[in-house]
Amino acid sequence: MRYVTTYTFKPFMTKNETKALLEAFAEFGNAPGTTAHYLRADGTGGIVIGESDDVAGMYRNILNYNEFVDFESHVVLSVEDAVPLIAEFAS
């Protein structure tokens, strides 16, 4: 399954909380199947793109960051996979 996760850092994090987040990331890293991980240039959060069927592993990974970050995840299809399904439905 392909997924896209957007995340936002919790507002008003202290320097100590930011340091703790960086330490957590150094220890636990990205979720299973991560193929790209980008930070928003405004410093408010980021986007993770990946492909994995290890939902438990992804959940286990997110638990390491919940005190610092709000997450929103979506299972996605490529346009090439979705368009034939949409065309079949519309016909």
The whole-number average pLDDT for the span 8-24 is 96
The whole-number average pLDDT for the span 42-58 is 96
The whole-number average pLDDT for the span 9-27 is 96
Prediction pTM value: 0.87
Residue range 37-47, pLDDT digits in tens: 999 999 999 99
Which residues of 1-91 form beta strands (DSSP E)? Answer: 2-9, 34-39, 45-51, 69-76
